[in-house]
Amino acid sequence: MTDTNNDEIIERNFDDRTEEDKEAFLTQTWCNNCQAVDLGMVEPKEYELNGVIIVEGKCKVCGEVSLTEVADESTDGEWEDER
């Protein structure tokens, strides 16, 4: 990942999550390339960028990058455009 906007990427350890959380992140995915849900993700990496926690991996079907933004409890169920 290239730092083009002087955004600080803070590496996190995906393996520190509970088994239940890891399973959810790895199976409940959306692939922008396949345009399908729950195809699965492999090679997960977790990091924080501009205060947002992201889990990034590759779609199990097509191999394209898949990103999941992790909502914290204070924003759970609230989307940016709903504010």
Q: Does pTM surpass 0.85? A: no
* pLDDT tens-digit map of 17-40: 999 999 999 999 999 999 999 999
* pLDDT tens-digit map of 48-72: 999 999 999 999 999 999 999 988 6
Helix, strand or coil, per DSSP, at residue 14: helix
What spatial distance separates the first Cα and last Cα of the chain, rounded to whole Å? Answer: 30
* pLDDT tens-digit map of 3-17: 455 688 999 999 999
The amino acid occupying position 19 is E
Q: Say if residues 47 and 56 touch (Cβ distance below 8 Å).
A: yes
